[in-house]
């Protein structure tokens, strides 16, 4: 079973997942999103790894959620897309990881700006629900997450992952 | 050298427990082998032909005696009493049990070591000139910058699932001993006209299936911009590097297919957004890291000059060793000593636990407690007083570590090949051993002079065959091993990719073929001072091809 997880827990009745079921809001691919921005209703976008996230810049304020796709756990393009959305474009809305979302990648996704996760892998869901993420609280580089300055050098950061 | 602070200790300890948890989840089946593979690789654990292999990082090739003793202890306790030093200045163990690996990592952490990012599609262990901090010709010590890169790249959230592995090398001299032009990023530390430090930056070099020399994208990158510019390169590569074919996924292919002008324009535009951000290096941080690499306090030892001359006169073996294996130090009373891990007929890069302990002891006694691993699979004591060379030589001799062949034909680089490696198509080690035995006579080696033979057991080129003066590539043809020869490669500041001579040679023919090439060189050279590579560049491949394949031409 697929669930939506955020750091507050499993999201119930998520409006953006399974859009076909209730015929409500749904995530639009990049091209459609750019067209849809003519209307006024808030909407969500789903991006593929080859999409240029910078194309969203002019319409970003109207976007309610951006889903970035990990077609395989080995495909890390969405980590850079996430960084660009948060750091370059200043996007502050929901950013969801979809596709292959596995436990050991979640801490990296959190660091690169993701805040919601569509997860199917049962052992991953179990650990996420238990708040037992397999990450490290000490970082050697700034990213897009909320961190404190680390001791010693300008590039270090700290954050409590399973707080 | 760099010492861990509390942050580093806590980080490595967390990384070990993270990996322990990953291993446990693998053993209970919560992680599939497919999904586990990149996780174990990012911690240096391979599954090879006969066993797991653990590759331990030796950042920029620098060790102290305490660390070397730990490497010996691990070889003895968890392996079969030896380890193999690699072309990335690392050490690998061929026989550890997967269940022992978390314990090994804990032992390593005790001496400020780890196996982080020694494999996987991430930023690998950063390498540097093995003579850094000692070489007479360097602008400044390049290792502080390698250390900054090591820290910044560790468990990088954006760059842990790159299209392919990513290798960075740093040097600080016009003489390139770090092979920076065959790295994904090559950095040469230099000074501008104002005397400020910065880097010439090359990108897109690499060996493997498609050997390509790197292209220079920056003539002078200020040191403060090291991390922002590197991040810009990495981000462009992560987003645009090919992922449809692992053989075309390195940045060298992206550079080649996009064109260096366009790609460097994209990098510049990315960098413009990053340059003044959080990655800008404060002077104080650069100074603080540099302080760890303050030169060893070397007392004047001028008595060594006279003693050295007398010892050399009385012992030709010692004189040969000094001539080949000792290079000039910044301090005139000192030398940089190469400890050859290429005994005649031995396995290139292997050292026993006892030998590692001996090197540790000698580094303490004569070498200011510093040891280096070279990408040529030797060890170096970078700071030895000339006055201590004779006792050091005696001690090395007793350990089988005094082979006087640095840079000679028997100083061969070889990958582990089909004796160990799951990727290999052919054996490398027996070929290296046979060539070493054939040319082992010291008089003959000296007559031949500087000559680098590099052997890979498959197209991945871990043995750097593309940049060997003589390169040997093992392939498999119709179920048999076959060795292709390339000539004219070089990994230094005059880098070049070797050219294949023609059809390959069987395992029982390859040493004869090498001998034919060497004999041809001896005939062709203009004099004893013309080295093999100089001669090859002057006369070209034809005389060598003619000698190798003449009988076939006649038969046809």
* pLDDT for residue B338 is more than 70: yes
> Residue A37 has what pLDDT?
73
pTM, full prediction: 0.96
Q: What is the CATH number of domain B303-398?
A: 3.90.480.20
* Confidence bin at A163 (pLDDT 50/70/90): confident
**Cβ <8 Å between B152 and A155:** yes
More confident of the two residues B396 and A23: B396
Q: Under an 8 A CB cutoff, do B157 and A138 touch?
A: no
Average pLDDT in chain B: 96
Q: What is the per-residue pLDDT for A13? A: 86
Partner B contacted by A151 (CB < 8 A)? yes
Is residue B509 less than 8 Å (CB to CB) from chain A?
no
**B160–chain A Cβ distance below 8 A for any pair:** yes
- The string of pLDDT tens digits covering residues B522-545 is 999 999 999 999 999 999 999 999
Residue B520 Cα, gap to closest chain A Cα (Å): 49
Question: Which position has the higher pLDDT, A62 or A106?
Answer: A106
The CA distance from B553 to the nearest CA of chain A, in Å, is 50
Structural domain spans, chain A? 3-134
Contact across the interface for A108 and B157, Cβ inside 8 Å: yes
Is the minimum CB–CB distance between A142 and chain B shorter than 8 Å?
A: yes
Q: Cβ B11–A74 below 8 Å, yes or no?
A: no
Percent of chain B scoring above 90 in pLDDT? 96
Per CATH, which fold does B142-291 belong to?
Sulfite Reductase Hemoprotein; domain 1 (3.30.413)
Q: In angstroms, rounded to a whole number, what is the distance separating the alpha carbons of residues B475 and B497?
A: 18
Q: How far apart are CA B146 and CA B150, in angstroms?
A: 6
Average pLDDT score over chain A:
92
Write the residue in A123, A136, A140 that is nearest to B30 by C-beta. Answer: A123
**Residue B555 pLDDT greater than 80, yes or no:** no
Per-residue pLDDT tens digits for B59-69: 999 999 999 99
Q: What is the least distance, in Å, from the CA of B21 to any CA of chain A?
A: 8
Would you call B281 an interface residue with chain A, using a CB distance cutoff of 8 Å?
A: yes
Q: How far apart are CA B205 and CA B219, in angstroms?
A: 16
If DSSP states are collapsed to H, E and C, what string results for B272-309?
HHHCCCCCCCCHHHHHHHHHHCCCCCCCCCCHHHHHHH
Sequence ranges of chain B with CATH classification 3.90.480.20: 6-110, 303-398
| Domain limits, CATH 3.30.413.10, in chain B | 142-291, 413-555
pLDDT of residue A18: 58
| Gyration radius from chain B CA atoms | 23
> Any chain A CB within 8 A of the CB of B6?
yes
CB-neighbour burial class of residue B316 (10 A; exposed 0-12, middle 13-18, buried 19+):
exposed
CATH class of B6-110: alpha beta
Instruction: Determine the Cα angle at A150 with ends A144 and A154, to 5°.
Output: 80
For B261-292, how does the pLDDT look when each residue is reduced to its tens digit (9 = 90+)?
999 999 999 999 999 999 999 999 999 999 99
pLDDT score at B48: 82
Q: How many CB pairs under 8 A join A and B?
A: 112
CB count within 10 Å of CB B193 equals: 6
Place of tokens 């990996």: B19
Beta-bridged to residue B338, according to DSSP, are B380
Q: Of B405, B336, B314, B289, which is closest to residue B131 (Cα–Cα)?
A: B336
- Distance between CA B388 and CA B318 in Å, rounded? 12
Residue B156 has pLDDT above 90, yes or no: yes
Angle (deg, nearest 10), helices B65-78 and B101-110: 160
pLDDT of the residue at A137? 97
Answer whether A140's CB lies under 8 Å from A156's CB: yes
Distance from CA of A123 to the nearest CA of B (A): 6
Q: Which residues pair with B202 in a beta bridge?
A: B186, B216
B contact residues 37-66, partner A, Cβ 8 Å cutoff = 38-39
The CA distance from B19 to B41, in Å, is 11
A155 touches chain B (CB under 8 A): yes
Three-state DSSP class for B61? helix
Q: How far apart are CA B85 and CA B56, in angstroms?
A: 10
Which residues of A fall within a CB distance of 8 Å from B272?
none
Superfamily of domain A3-134: Aldolase class I (3.20.20.70)
Of B22, B151, B273, the CB nearest to A88: B273
Higher pLDDT, B49 or B63: B63
Task: Please answer yes or no on whether B157 and A136 come within 8 Å at the CB atom.
Answer: no
Give contacts of B 182-241 with A, CB under 8 A.
227, 235, 238-239
Total count of residues recorded for chain A: 163
**CATH assignment of B413-555, among 3.90.1150.10, 3.30.930.10, 3.30.413.10, 3.40.50.2300:** 3.30.413.10
Interface membership of B279 toward A (CB under 8 Å): yes
CA-CA distance, B170 to B61, in Å (whole number)?
Answer: 11
**Nearest residue on chain A to B40, judged by CA atoms?**
A104
Q: Does A22 touch chain B (CB under 8 A)?
A: no
B286-330: per-residue pLDDT in tens?
999 999 999 888 999 999 999 999 999 999 999 999 999 999 999
The residue of B239, B246, B275 whose CB has the most chain A CBs within 10 angstroms, and thus the best one to mutate to test that interface, is B239
Residue environment code for B265-282, b if the CB has 16+ CB neighbours within 10 A, otherwise e: ebbeebbeebbeeebbbe
Residue B246 forms contact with A (CB below 8 Å): no
Confidence of residue A34 (pLDDT cuts 50, 70, 90): confident
Name which of B476, B546, B540 is nearest B507 in CA terms. B476
Residue with tokens 């590197």: B230
Which residues in chain B have their CB less than 8 angstroms from residue A73's CB? 35, 38, 161
d(CA B549, CA B545): 6
Alpha-carbon gap: A141 to the closest alpha carbon of chain B (Å): 5
Test A136 with B18 for CB contact under 8 angstroms: yes
For the stretch B407-455, pLDDT in tens is 999 999 999 999 999 899 999 999 999 999 999 999 999 999 999 999 9
Which positions 96-135 of A are in contact with B (Cβ < 8 Å)? Answer: 102-105, 107-109, 111-112, 123, 134-135
* Separation of CA B222 from chain center: 26
């Amino acid at each position: 079973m697929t669930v939506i997880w955020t750091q507050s827990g499993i999201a119930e009745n998520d409006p953006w997942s399974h859009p076909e079921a209730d015929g409500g809001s749904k995530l639009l691919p990049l091209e459609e999103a750019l067209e849809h921005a003519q209307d006024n209703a808030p909407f969500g976008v789903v991006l593929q790894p080859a999409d240029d996230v910078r194309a969203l810049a002019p319409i970003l304020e109207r976007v309610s959620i951006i889903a970035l796709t990990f077609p395989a756990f080995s495909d890390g393009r969405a980590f850079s897309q996430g960084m660009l959305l948060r750091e370059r474009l200043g996007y502050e809305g929901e950013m969801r990881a979809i596709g292959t979302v596995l436990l050991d990648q979640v801490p990296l996704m959190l660091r690169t700006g993701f805040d919601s996760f569509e997860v199917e892998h049962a052992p991953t869901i179990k650990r996420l629900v238990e708040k037992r993420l397999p990450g490290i609280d000490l970082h050697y580089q700034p990213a897009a997450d909320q961190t404190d300055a680390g001791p010693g050098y300008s590039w270090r950061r700290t954050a409590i992952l399973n707080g | 050298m760099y010492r861990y602070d509390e942050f580093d200790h806590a980080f490595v300890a967390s990384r070990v427990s993270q990996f322990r948890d990953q291993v446990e989840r693998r053993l209970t089946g919560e992680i599939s082998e497919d999904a586990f593979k990149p996780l174990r690789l990012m911690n240096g654990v391979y599954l090879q032909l006969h066993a797991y292999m653990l590759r331990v990082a030796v950042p920029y090739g620098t060790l102290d005696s305490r660390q070397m003793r730990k490497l010996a202890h691990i070889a003895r306790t968890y392996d079969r009493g030896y380890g193999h030093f690699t072309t990335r200045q690392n050490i690998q163990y061929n026989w550890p049990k997967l269940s022992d690996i978390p314990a090994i990592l804990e032992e390593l952490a005790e001496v400020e070591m780890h196996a982080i990012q020694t494999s996987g599609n991430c930023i690998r262990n950063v390498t540097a000139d093995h003579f850094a901090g000692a070489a007479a010709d360097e602008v400044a010590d390049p290792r502080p910058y390698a250390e900054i890169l090591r820290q910044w790249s560790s468990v990088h959230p954006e760059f842990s699932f790159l299209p392919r592995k990513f290798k960075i090398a740093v040097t600080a001299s016009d003489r390139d001993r770090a092979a920076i032009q065959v790295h994904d990023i090559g950095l040469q530390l230099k000074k501008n006209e104002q005397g400020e430090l910065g880097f010439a930056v090359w990108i897109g070099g690499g060996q493997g299936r498609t050997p390509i020399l790197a292209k220079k994208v920056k003539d002078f990158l200020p040191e403060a911009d090291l991390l922002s510019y590197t991040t810009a390169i990495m981000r462009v590569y992560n987003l645009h590097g090919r992922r449809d074919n692992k053989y075309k996924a390195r940045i060298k292919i992206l550079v080649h297919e996009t064109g260096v002008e366009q790609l460097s324009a994209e990098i510049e535009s990315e960098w413009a957004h990053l340059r003044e951000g959080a990655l800008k290096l404060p002077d104080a941080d650069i100074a603080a890291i540099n302080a760890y690499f303050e030169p060893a306090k070397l007392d004047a030892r001028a008595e060594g000059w006279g003693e050295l001359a007398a010892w050399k006169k009385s012992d030709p073996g010692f004189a040969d060793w000094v001539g080949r294996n000792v290079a000039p130090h910044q301090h005139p009373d000192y030398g940089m000593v190469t400890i050859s891990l290429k005994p005649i007929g031995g396995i290139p890069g292997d050292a026993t636990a006892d030998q590692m302990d001996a090197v540790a002891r000698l580094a303490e006694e004569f070498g200011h407690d510093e040891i280096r691993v070279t990408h040529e699979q030797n060890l170096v004591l970078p700071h030895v007083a000339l006055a201590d060379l004779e006792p050091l030589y005696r001690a090395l001799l007793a350990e089988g570590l005094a082979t006087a062949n640095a840079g000679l034909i028997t100083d061969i680089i070889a990958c582990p090949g089909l004796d160990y490696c799951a990727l290999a198509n052919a054996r490398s080690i027996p070929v290296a051993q046979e060539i070493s035995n054939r040319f082992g006579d010291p008089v003959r080696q000296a007559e031949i002079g500087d000559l680098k033979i590099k052997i890979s057991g498959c197209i991945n080129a871990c043995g750097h065959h593309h940049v060997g003066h003589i390169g040997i590539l093992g392939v498999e043809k119709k179920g048999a091993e076959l060795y292709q020869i390339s000539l004219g490669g070089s990994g230094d500041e005059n880098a070049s990719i070797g050219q294949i001579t023609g059809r390959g040679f069987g395992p029982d023919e390859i040493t004869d073929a090498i001998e034919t090439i060497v004999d041809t060189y001896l005939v062709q050279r203009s004099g004893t001072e013309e080295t093999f590579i100089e001669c090859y560049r002057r006369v070209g491949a034809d005389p060598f091809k003619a000698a190798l394949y003449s009988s076939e031409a006649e038969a046809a």
